Structure formats: structure tokens, C-alpha cells
A and B are shown apart, each in its own frame.
Chain A
Amino acid sequence: MALTMIVVIAHNLLSFLSAPSVGILGYAANINPQKVVELTNEKRAEANEATLIYSESLSEAARLKGLDMLDQDYWAHVAPDGTEPWDFFADVGYVYRFAGENLARDFASPESAVEAWMASPSHRENMLSTKYKEIGIAVVEGDLGGRDTTLVVQLFGTPSTGTPSVPVAAAHAPPSTANEEVRVEPRPVSVVNSSQVVTNTPPTLPINQFDIAKAITIGVVFIVVAVLAVDVAFISRRGINRIGGRAFAHLSFMVMILIILVVVKSGDIL
């Protein structure tokens, strides 16, 4: 029976790893960029830090970064062709003194993405840094690695005001490269093409693949736990001696797996 279960779960695993997710489900994200800005400023307020000003220029740079990740199919701060996050600042003409980038993917809500960033020391440092004055957010949806993905790109910046640049110690921050005045014209925030959608409004898909995979796996593991529990009760009541592993050890292991499956959350940050 255990082998059968392994085959079922392995099939589940392989199908999610290999199948291009152009099926009926898609990913149900409900991430409003403005809400991410609000939550970030709430966290800064709790830490007695100044409120970040929303920047259309940074949001445009974030949108370009998200599109580039989908176009080149990568999940990283630096693109395979060597393009760095700061190149997108330059693309929109944002001349920074300090700059930083946080990335998130496949979170179901703005709250969960922000909480994940806050739980990571390097991302938290970016979010609460006193070096930054402005923030830009883009939510980009499309196919990444063969799967429907929702990317959240959060950029921080402090525009250069002609003062000498200062190296930044933050994990995702580059040294400043210019000291010119910032001058950027806002660009449209929505782009649609045949393979991907970029939007600043939350999509309204009904379900997501992570929740489906999680529910199915929990169901399968629950059945295994139930069978092991019956086995433990049966051999205990009958006083059966048999050559084999300790059923209680197996049961406690699978219960741990069940708990992990319940607490594990969707989404990844970078």
C-alpha cells in the first residue's frame, strides 16, 4: 500500500514539476500593489521609520524587471544575460543614490508576501532601511518555468540629489552610479500580450494549483496516517509480535509530515 501511495504522490510531484500549467486552474493571486505599499509603510511605522513615497518611476522599473523575468524565464536578482536590477532603474531614468530590490512569487495575498519578506533578515532590512525614500511595486503574471506564476517586484530607491554617492550595505542594493537629477515620465502600467499579463489590479481566479496540490497530498497522507493508526491499535490489542519496523515510529513520522503539510505556505521570496 505504501508503494502505491508513493506512486500516487510521486506522480503528483512529477506532474506539477513537468507539466506546462496552461490548464484550467492557473494561480489565484489577489495582490494589489497599492496594498503592498500600505503594508510596507505599516511595518515601517511599527519600526518608527519614515513612510516611503510611492514612485511611479520605480513601479515602472519593477514592471520592466518582472517582464524581463518572464521573458528570459529566470527567478533571480540578476538575469542570465547579466542584466542587474539596477539596469531597470536606468531604463526608466531613475538616478538613485540608494536602491534595493525584493522579489516574491506565488503568494496568495499581499499580507503573506509582506510577512514572508519581514521574516527574512535581508528582505526585512530592505523594507525597514532608513536609506530609502521611495517605493515602487509591480505585480506581474505569466509563465515562469512552465508554470503560471504571480511575481511581485518591490523596488526601493532614494533619488540622487547631486550629493556624493554612498555605498550601500544592503543585500540587494548596488553602489550608486550617478548624481544627476531624477527625471522620469510615468509609463502605462498595463501590458497584455499572447503569453503574459501585467496588471496593477488583482486577478480574480477562483483557485490556485498550490492549494489543490496541498489538499490532495494532505488527503493521501491522512489516509496513510489512518491506516497506520489502525495497524498500531490492532497489533497492540492483539499482542501480535511481528518482524518489522515500529508502527508507532512510522505513525509519528507521518503525523509530522501531515503537520508540515498543513503549516507549509505557498510562495517564495528572493
Chain B
Amino acid sequence: MVNKRYFRHIPHYIPLIGIFAAGVLAFLFFSYDKQFQIGVAISVAAGHISWGIVHHLIHKDFRPEIVLEYIVISALGLAAVLSVILRV
């Protein structure tokens, strides 16, 4: 059984997936511009955090601890990408 709440969230996930898809495409099309790629990585990580805040505010289950969770996950992803990009 798939919870109804997942279907309820679908309109929220569409822009989130859109942000992530744009990030991947940016990396593909601007493979020659490392500075731009770093900017994209930071922007997507910030987008993930922002999406989480807005999403939980709309669903009225926002808590500061949740923001911390999004920040930790975003920092993990950002660190992974930067560790490779900055290696050149």
C-alpha cells in the first residue's frame, strides 16, 4: 500500500525534481566551466533546503530540527560534488 500522503505531495515534488533535473543538465552542458558548476551545486543544495522549509510550512509540520536535517543532507551532497570538482 502506498500512502495517500505521497500522492498528496506530488505537486510539491514536481518542482523539486525540476530543480534537480536542471542541476544535472547544467553539469552536462557546462562541463567546461568549473566555477559555474560550483555555483550550480551550491544553488541546488540551497534549493533542496528551501524546498524543505516551504514544503513543511505549507503542511504545517515545520520544526527547526527538520531544517537541520535538510541542511545536513544538502551539506553531504555538496561536499561530495565539491570534493570531485575541486580535484579538477
A208-226 vs B, CB cutoff 8 Å, 1 = contact: the mask equals 0110011001001100100
Tell me the number of A-to-B contacts counted with CB atoms below 8 Å.
135
Given contacts A9-B80, A252-B20, contact A244 B3 (CB under 8 A): no
12 contacts between A and B (CB under 8 A): A9-B80, A12-B83, A13-B83, A116-B32, A120-B32, A123-B32, A252-B17, A259-B24, A261-B81, A263-B24, A266-B88, A267-B88
Interface residues of A, Cβ cutoff 8 Å to B: 2-3, 5-6, 9-10, 12-13, 16-17, 105-106, 116-117, 119-120, 123, 147, 149, 209-210, 213-214, 217, 220-221, 224, 236, 239, 243-246, 248-250, 252-257, 259-261, 263-269
Contact with A along B46-72 (1 / 0, CB 8 A): 001001100110000101011001101
A9 with B76: CB separation less than 8 A? yes
Q: Contacts A6-B76, A250-B73, A260-B23 known; A243 to B85 CB distance under 8 Å?
A: no
Contacts of A259 in B (CB 8 A): 24
The DSSP consensus for interface residues of chain A is: helix
Given known pairs A243-B63, A246-B9, A263-B27, the reply for A217 and B84 (CB within 8 Å) is: yes
Question: In the complex, how many angstroms separate the beta carbon of B11 from the nearest chain A beta carbon?
Answer: 13
Asked if A239 and B66 make an inter-chain contact with CB atoms under 8 angstroms apart, the answer reads no
Q: A13-B86, A16-B87, A245-B52 known; A257 and B61 CB under 8 Å?
A: no
